[in-house]
Amino acid sequence: MTGRLNSAQPYAIGLFRAVVGLLFACHGANSLFGTFGGDTVEAGTWPGWFAAVIELVGGSLVLLGLGTRAAAFIASGAMAYAYFKVHQPQALWPIENSGEGAAMYCWAMFLLIFTGSGAFGLDRLFAKRSATQSRTAADKTPVAA
């Protein structure tokens, strides 16, 4: 059973990445454009507007699996900031201060920093393409005797 689960791990990580990225991007779109019936934040306001941009752009990149580790690093940091500066001063525990979302996104993105995009990500596609191109370039390089 462990072998089967281990072989499915890249696909589970890829699915996890896509769902977290989609939800994170929707949160940013909601704050920026009022989609899904949300209230918009005024452009340029600190920290709400900047957080919304990070959520939309970072969530989209994570969803696509493009620059996943870097996007997840920035998104995780933004959610840690949101938790400690916005939610935590109200109360200690996330359930008391309505910070569950920020805490969960922070840790979900933190996990993606270490796992990468998993299966189905554009990172993996570009890595394969780059490896193929470097192998063909190495084959064409003349060998000095």
For 49-64, the pLDDT digits (tens) are 999 999 999 999 999 9
CA–CA distances in Å: residue 49 to residues 26, 38, 102 = 14, 14, 15
Task: Evaluate whether residue 67 is within a structural domain.
Answer: yes
Q: Is 12 helix (H, G, I), strand (E, B) or coil?
A: helix
Q: Angle at Cα 39 formed by Cα 72 and Cα 87, nearest 5°?
A: 55
- Flag whether 37 is in a domain: yes
Please tell me the distance from the alpha carbon of residue 10 to that of residue 5, in angstroms, as a whole number.
10
Q: How many domains does the chain have?
A: 1
Domain that holds residue 112: 8-139
Residue 114 lies inside a defined structural domain of this protein = yes
% of the chain beyond a pLDDT of 90: 67
Is 125 inside a domain boundary?
Answer: yes
The beta strand positions in the chain, using DSSP E, are: none
Instruction: Count how many Cα atoms sit within 13 Å of the Cα of residue 4 in the half-sphere of its side chain.
Output: 1
With respect to residue 113, please indicate whether it lies within any of the assigned structural domains: yes
pLDDT tens digits, one per residue of 99-131: 999 999 999 999 999 999 988 899 888 887 777
Residue 2 lies in a domain: no
Lowest mean pLDDT across 19-23, 94-98, 129-133, 138-142: 138-142
DSSP 8-state secondary structure symbol assigned to residue 37:
G
Q: Is residue 120 part of a domain?
A: yes
- Domain-embedded: residue 86: yes
The gap from C-alpha 4 to its chain's centroid, in whole angstroms, comes to 26
- Measured CA to CA, the distance from residue 127 to residue 120 in angstroms comes to 12
- Asked whether 91 and 117 are in contact (CB, 8 A), the reply is no
